[in-house]
Amino acid sequence: GPVLLILGIFCFEWYAFNCVFMLRGLGRWKGETIEVAFFRAFFFNAFWLLAIWSFLRCAFSDPGFVPRWWLDQNQGCRTEPSYFGWMPGRPSTCGKCEVPRPERAHHCSICGKCVLRMDHHCPWVGNCVGAYNHKYFILMLFYGILAAMTYGSSAAPVLAAMFGKGGGHWTIGNLGVKGWGLFSMGAVLSASLCLAMSILFLSHLWLMA
């Protein structure tokens, strides 16, 4: 499903950067120093690890399902049914799962439960984004953008050559034809992901402001 697709993209980007560009191409273009390659490797892998850690925490954490202790404490309390959303200032009974829920809890039709401060159900992480894992969703976007920017800046000569604005850039090591193809695919993919994640990240910041 979509979750396996995202994990596949994570793994492909890591392979194209580390096993192709860093290992075969020695991580630098002709005229660049070895310090440049070191910093590229450090920052890309640091951001990549933080991004996939945030992705896994968001995917496998409890998004904020109504806790059992809240249901036990509010058992017998009078609640009104609500079919269109939560009721400001007081608990309500969900019209779909017919379970009491606190203020600002929404029903997720995919999970079949009410989620505290639900934002949306994200198919790319296979989970709801709610009160308990919203932080990890934002961090995933943030670190993913930084990792994609690091890859894209490292592959700037490749991207420039694709648009006819450069040429004659060669790595210190030999990438080979297959290596060039894989690294170029990773460059285009990272640029596309950076744009998509930036739009999503900024829209969430605007909603939280």
Active site residues: 122
Residue 13 is encoded by which pair of tokens? 């980007």
Beta strand 113-116 with 105-108 is antiparallel
Terminal CA-to-CA distance of the chain, rounded, Å? 33
- Quote the CA–CA distance of 120 and 101 in Å, as a whole number: 17
For tokens 């690294």, the residue is 183
Strand partners, 93: 81, 100
